[in-house]
Amino acid sequence: MTLQLGEKHFSSAQPESAARRIVTFKVGDRTFGIDVGMVREIKGWQATTPLPHAAPHVRGVLNLRGVILAVYDLRTSIGLGTTDATATHVIVVVDIEDKVAGLLVDSVSDIVDVPVSAVRPAPDLERDEHGLIEGLVLLDTDIVALLDLAAVIRDGGVETPMAKLARAS
């Protein structure tokens, strides 16, 4: 697998004014992004050890140089089923709050700088993604959905029955 992490500048006219550097990656034909500062490293897929009775988007735990961290399947989080992970799949290792976690995605695409002003608030999306998307960025022809990682890891966007009940009442 080859990663081409070229840098595209969104606007060279104002490079420094409040730009966000975003790592983008793909799940299926959809593009997601997170701030580069949250990414600790990117590694190829590695078998995980399943955890008993964990939420569906928790793929299990793996050993990253002696640290045990949980891997979350982003595909499951956005309601597209389970990733059939192969050697070409990628785990994005992220720092989120005080924890280290892995995010299973299909591939990493790019690192881009976008001005903060180009980030649009997320419209009301389909139910499964509720709360996962922090904002949207238009990049060439792609729409990059910026992820709220804490939400991805917390409940993967799949609402628990209790949460549903709470919302319904």
Partner 1 sequence: MDPLAELKQTFFQECEELLGALELRLQALDEGSTDPEDVNAAFRAIHSIKGGAGAFGCTELVAFAHVFEASLDHLRSGRVALEDAPFALFLRCSDAVADLVSAARNDEPARPRPDLLAALEQVGKAPGAAPAAAPPPPAAAPAPVAAPAPAADAPLGVAALGNLLAMVEAKTASPSNVDAGWGDEPAKPASTKPGRTIILRIAPESDLFRRVIEPRVVFASLPADDIVSIVCDLGQVPALETIDVSDCFMRFVVTMRTELSVEDICSRFDFTLATEEFQIEVVEDAAAAAPAPAATAGNAEVSGSVAADLSAILAKLGPASPSSEAAEAAPAAPVAVAAPVTAVVEAPAAKAAARAPANDAAAARQRTAVSVRVDLDRIDKLMNLVGEIVITQSMLVECVRSLPYDVYAKTAEGILTLSRQTRELQDHVMAVRAQPVKAVFQRMPRLVRELAQTLGKEVRLVLEGENTEVDKTIIEELADPLTHMIRNSMDHGLETPEDRIAAGKSPEGTIKLIAEHRAGRIVISVTDDGRGIGRDRLLAKARSRGLVGADEKLAPEEIDQLIFAAGLSTAEVISDVSGRGVGMDVVRRNVESLGGRISVDSEPGRGCKFTLALPLTLAVLEGMVIRCGADRYVIPIASVIETQHLASTPIEHLTFGQEVLRWRGEITPLHRLGAVMGSSGTRNENIIIIAETERGDNVGIAVDEIVGQQQVVVKSLEGNYGTVHGASAATILGDGLVALILDVDSMLRLAATGERPPATELKLAG
Tell me how many residues contact partner 1 (CB under 8 A). 30
DSSP run (H or E) holding 116: none
Binding mask 99-118 for partner 1 (x = CB under 8 A): xxx-----------------
Rounded least distance, CB 88 to partner 1, Å = 20
Measured distance CA(159)–CA(5) in Å, rounded: 34
* Residue span binding partner 1 (CB under 8 A) among the ranges 21-29, 108-116, 129-137, 157-165: 157-165
Q: Does 85 bind partner 1 (CB under 8 A)?
A: no
Select the residue interacting with partner 1 from 38, 55, 80, 118 (CB under 8 A).
Answer: 55
Q: Does 47 bind partner 1 (CB under 8 A)?
A: yes
Q: Is 166 in the site for partner 1 (CB under 8 A)?
A: no
The three-class DSSP label of residue 106 is coil
DSSP character string of 5-69: --EEES-TTSSSTTEEEEEEEEETTEEEEEEGGGEEEEEE----BPPTT--TTEEEEEEETTEEE
